[in-house]
Structure 1
Amino acid sequence: MTEFRPGKDKTFNRNYRIVIVPLVYVVYTVVFYVINPFSRYWTFLANAPAERLVLELFIGLIISWLITESSLTSTRWLDKVMPWETWPLRRFFTQFAAVLLAVFIFLKAFDFVIIRFIDKPAEFTEEDQMEEWQFVSVSMLVAILLNSVHTGSYFLRRWKNSMVEAAQLQLHAAALKETAMQAQLQSLKLQLDPHFLFNNFSTLSVLIEEDARLATSFLEKLSRVYRYMISNLNNDVISLQQELNFIQSYIFLIEIRHGENVIIQTSVSPHSMEKGIPPITLQLLIENAIKHNIASAQQPLYVRIYDDAEGNLVVSNSIQLIPHALPSTRLGLANIKERYALLFEKEVIVEEVDQQFVVKLPLVNL
């Protein structure tokens, strides 16, 4: 982002002079009057003709212009040899010293021209000398005020620019984070457990030989499950009601594969049905429970789905681990945890309580 500094923008400097020079003249006159309200100069102005007043106004504006130019010139020169970014403290004191020196030189030169060519006094009294030094002192004081305005304006612009740049960087970082998050989410959604595919196709091949009608129903439910998966690839969150409707088709597949060896129970309040959950979450948890635990007639596997008072959806199963379980593909719990972290910045709680493997999924507002 480009940054304005006095002396670099010609249009701004022209307009700046048009406004600041008369303002410096007013400030200069007021300060001079406050310091010495009994100066003979005020009596002189009160009795001077209109032509002389115009000349005094012109001289005053010239002095104000010299003060302004001194400040701008010293600032422009120091920007080249001593930038604020490199030596801020040294620049601060040097700029004030340079402005005072430039104003003193310009004013002494101007005073020399006035005395020599315009208004040479008949006698240079001690009072005249005192007023001359008052004139120089007031001019330097006004120059210091003007330089303070320049310095404060510079730091204010720097602060505003830094705030804008910080906001732009934050927006850019947020955009990059969003892009990365969407890519990661898409990758997570496309993950399908190969064991789930293998088991269901194996079951289907057996049913085709033994019971063609049941095989047709099984194939219909299986196609429903994958249609749901594909249709929700672009959805980050769906209602719990939709997820539970999908689970009914999935439970049918489980019942055909495992019969009464796996018992899935759901008990969710109507209020929680309106909350949101990442799609395919329940299917991953149920499949994860079946993959790692014994499910037999003598030792059926119980899976419960219910909501708790803290606003979580709880999926629990009895712990009866298979002695030689298949190695994990890390596409179940890890998938769910990563999606919750990316989408909602919420943590999925996993714990073992009373021989129950419990997963608590925070429900979110849609």
Structure 2
Amino acid sequence: MPGYSFLKILNRYRYFRLFAILLVFIVLYLLNFLINPFSAYWKDYFDKDIWVNATDWMATLVFCALICEASVFAARILDKRLPWTESPFKRFALQITVQILMVVIIIYGIFSICSIFFTDNKTLSLEEQLDIWQFIYVCILVSILISATHTGNFLLVKWKNSMLEASALKLKTAELKEIAMQAELQSLKLQLDPHFMFNNFSTLSELISEDQGKASLFLENLSRVYRYMIVNLHKNIISLEEELKFVQSYIYLIKIRHGENLHIQIDIPASGYEKGIPPITLQLLIENAIKHNMATRKSPLRIHIYMEEEEHLIIRNNLQKISYILPTTQLGLKNIESRYKILSKKIPLIQKDETDFTVYLPLLSIV
């Protein structure tokens, strides 16, 4: 219940305040004794009447309570008016000054009240006067210690809250970045469909009029390829084994389109099947090579797909650049690079010389 929780917190707060006052009470007596253990006040301390000492203790407890409350109150007011973060040196000087003034006022007030009820017109000796000044100094020191403890706790809580806020902000930023990356990745994946389907529907329309048997087989492989693309649309990384199965169906489709003008050789050891790459990457690279190179029966386009030390998948084709410039959607290599940047710190390496065009695809771990 909210009411019960509030009372519980209030009780804990009261117990803490009581503990703090008792601690200040002990420290006050201890410091007074350690500074001057030979004072007249301590010579016959334990020989005094118990009620005299009890009265002294009660007065000191009230005094300690006043110092505690005044010190905490002053620190809270200054936290609002002049925070430590704005001007620490000015705040330090002001807080010390306020603490000293409050202690002097409290001591003067208590001594004034005591003089009303306990008037004996006795002249204080030099030693007694020194004891009083010592008591004032100790009270000021204790007040400063209380204020320092409160301020340290305040700054610690502020630091803890700022760290929690910074952690929460980092977590939120990471979540938003992840959402943005996933959205970008999905956008890049969706761009593949029109580019892929346009070429193959054109081929299918030609086969239907020429050879319905081939058209039926072509359509069957096309459906397998398209099913693969749909099933893996939401996957970021696919195993090399699955990608190669997809590529075999895809190669059938492009063989129908290009015949013996295109030679594709795949040399992947079984040990590399468990490695991963972004889905539909090989299809893009093969399509990219076909689009930008000539392929004839006398000078076929040769594409070689193989592995290098199970770290890279290499796709190499001979360069036979077409003599005219085709309009491009700029999907191919740019799409692959963008996906790798999202998924990994490893980036594909592209090498080009007079005879070959080579792409080194980093192999990824499948989580």
Give the TM-score, by structure 1 length: 0.92
C-alpha spacing 1:120/1:227, structure 2 compared with 1 (3 Å): farther
C-alpha spacing 1:353/1:11, structure 2 compared with 1 (3 Å): farther
For residues 48 and 121 of structure 1, the distance between their equivalents in structure 2, rounded to whole angstroms, comes to 22
Equivalent residues of 1:266, 1:306 under 8 A apart: yes
Unaligned runs of 5+ residues in structure 1 are: 1-8
For residues 120 and 21 of structure 2, the distance between their equivalents in structure 1, rounded to whole angstroms, comes to 26
Equivalent residues of 2:67, 2:103 under 8 A apart: yes
List aligned pairs for 1:127-146, cutoff 5 A: 127-146=127-146
Q: Counterpart of 1:319?
A: 319
2:330 is paired with a residue whose SS is: coil
Equivalent residues of 2:72, 2:146 under 8 A apart: no
Q: Counterpart of 1:216?
A: 216
Post-superposition CA distance 1:203-240 (Å, at most 9, x none) = 21222222221111110001111111111111111111
C-alpha spacing 1:113/1:326, structure 2 compared with 1 (3 Å): same
C-alpha spacing 1:343/1:121, structure 2 compared with 1 (3 Å): farther
For residues 365 and 247 of structure 1, the distance between their equivalents in structure 2, rounded to whole angstroms, comes to 20
C-alpha spacing 1:105/1:10, structure 2 compared with 1 (3 Å): farther
Q: Counterpart of 2:344?
A: 344
Letter of the aligned partner of 2:179 in structure 1?
T
RMSD across aligned C-alpha pairs, in angstroms?
Answer: 1.9
Equivalent residues of 1:193, 1:331 under 8 A apart: no
Q: Counterpart of 1:176?
A: 176
Q: Counterpart of 1:52?
A: 52
Pair 1:97-2:97 in alignment:
yes
Post-superposition CA distance 1:5-56 (Å, at most 9, x none) = xxxx977764442221111111111111110111122233211222222212
Q: Counterpart of 2:4?
A: none
Letter of the aligned partner of 1:243 in structure 2?
E
2:73 is paired with a residue whose SS is: helix
C-alpha spacing 1:57/1:204, structure 2 compared with 1 (3 Å): same
C-alpha spacing 1:15/1:351, structure 2 compared with 1 (3 Å): farther
Q: Give the superposition deviation at 1:120.
A: 5.0
C-alpha spacing 1:142/1:65, structure 2 compared with 1 (3 Å): same
C-alpha spacing 1:272/1:92, structure 2 compared with 1 (3 Å): farther
Q: Counterpart of 2:36?
A: 36
Pair 1:200-2:200 in alignment:
yes
C-alpha spacing 1:226/1:107, structure 2 compared with 1 (3 Å): same
Q: Counterpart of 2:3?
A: none
Equivalent residues of 2:272, 2:310 under 8 A apart: no
List aligned pairs for 1:1-366, cutoff 5 A: 14-118=14-118, 120=120, 122-192=122-192, 194=194, 196-309=196-309, 311-353=311-353, 355-366=355-366
Q: Give the superposition deviation at 1:268.
A: 1.6
Letter of the aligned partner of 2:286 in structure 1?
I
Equivalent residues of 2:103, 2:140 under 8 A apart: yes
Equivalent residues of 2:275, 2:365 under 8 A apart: yes
For residues 274 and 363 of structure 2, the distance between their equivalents in structure 1, rounded to whole angstroms, comes to 9
Give the TM-score, by structure 2 length: 0.92
For residues 195 and 235 of structure 1, the distance between their equivalents in structure 2, rounded to whole angstroms, comes to 19
For residues 157 and 353 of structure 1, the distance between their equivalents in structure 2, rounded to whole angstroms, comes to 63
For residues 284 and 48 of structure 1, the distance between their equivalents in structure 2, rounded to whole angstroms, comes to 100
For residues 332 and 106 of structure 2, the distance between their equivalents in structure 1, rounded to whole angstroms, comes to 81
Q: How many residues align?
A: 358
Identity %: 47
Q: Give the superposition deviation at 1:299.
A: 1.2
C-alpha spacing 1:288/1:121, structure 2 compared with 1 (3 Å): farther
Letter of the aligned partner of 2:186 in structure 1?
Q
Q: Give the superposition deviation at 1:58.
A: 0.9
Letter of the aligned partner of 1:318 in structure 2?
N
